[in-house]
Structure 1
């Protein structure tokens, strides 16, 4: 029998692409999502891209213990991939309580319900942001962690909770993936990043400027100690991220306990380099202005991804051009996102934009 995987936040950007990857490799997939920052349309498209349906979709908040327990009772869940979380650095500074409530509270509820139903295999969506304002690059899994914003602290707290759970439960198996900056879209153009409201990540904002939904990009700071003064990040194609989660599932049983791996390309790209690459691929100018730094941002985050390559024989295969090309294909084919007239669509507007 194929394994059944529960994916929390499965309608989101990374979650939807991971669902396709799992379906393509024979897994049965159950999705839990409250659609606070995602569209149900994404899951319809997942089935279309994969050529077969999801096993089930439940509109449930992971903090709702009763509803979540009913999902586990209804399906023979073998493993969980946990994406459901708030994820914007800037927003987390303004809404720290909400971020801890969702990201930490939701993780605790999920773990409790998993234990109740005898499910002890988990892939956890962590983040490179736990490293904070690192003074070395690239970053290994042994690099010091020093998160600089509430979002990053919620992810590190989640990892700490999982470490404690694994120490308490001998049969618990957890892989925490600290991936760097997922961008791009499915090459079909059917799936991509379509956040509600003003995008909090760089690539979708750049794409919306290029397609005419927004007037210009605000680049937060050009005085960082980087080659062009703008923030440098390790961008990784979302399909590579999805593939990494599927491979992680295949290695959950390598040994009990918790392990942490970086997912990244090992190559740093500045904000202005990404803007230039996107403009070249799209053939559209991406106007921008330099503004002051944003609270919680750091100068550079680049992965050393050699540990996962050594452990699993897996590496990323898609470069920055592919990331920009696929993101532009999705934006061009879906200029107003998944639903015209839905939140996050409409006339071009100005607003705060991220530097990831």
Structure 2
């Protein structure tokens, strides 16, 4: 059945149609090839980061433990969005069951919220390393890092579950066409025939612990970090201290920048294609960029990668 009837003369949609990026077949094939390559490189880069950190003794530190969590989150996000995008490009408009659409929406907000908390935890790690180096090893113990990761996952699951349940309890009576390449909050609410004012208020309330507090904590941490770096007398010392947090700062800037342009700036009057392009930045390109940033700007990662390649090459020749 295309739709099922409910008691109060409304119809509950059972399928949604994702329009994605409309265009001639050649254009869609080019996009398909591009996003398929990006997805493969994203999986390779993040899996490589997880493998290097897991098996390299030099990378058994809190910063790299958190980096593996960021890679796990990027893999989940990319796998949630990109396969659906590829299917939509192949078929010119993808048909998805409404339950699958809601599942995609939940995993999307879960990984986004987890990234917010994880980047906050990583900023605290950099704060302790630069501003309180003598206390770093005692405070940032393995057990404490595990507690921070568990807390971040728990808060992320709770906040995303609250948003999901609220959206799930709305009536969705159509239309069932989503002019996007995945099931995001705004296009989903556009399908609802319920009063969404409660959902909008809830989103604002949940953004306080989920976005505003983490962002404020990161800002305060980096103000103190920059102040501590400026107090270092030698130029070499300042450069070395800044290099330890530059990768994290770059990732934070990209992540919050794209979220700001997508959800904070007014979208009225803007073409949907612009919103789709901006959405690509944090759903497709950010999971690709994160391992590249940490690999190119981190000597320990590059050193571990070179050692692993040499080890593989030696073992291969010995056989």
- TM value normalised by structure 2: 0.28
Greater radius of gyration (CA): 2
Which has the higher relative contact order, 1 or 2, with Cα contacts under 8 A spaced 6 or more apart? 2
Going by fraction, where is strand more abundant, 1 or 2? 1
Going by fraction, where is helix more abundant, 1 or 2? 2
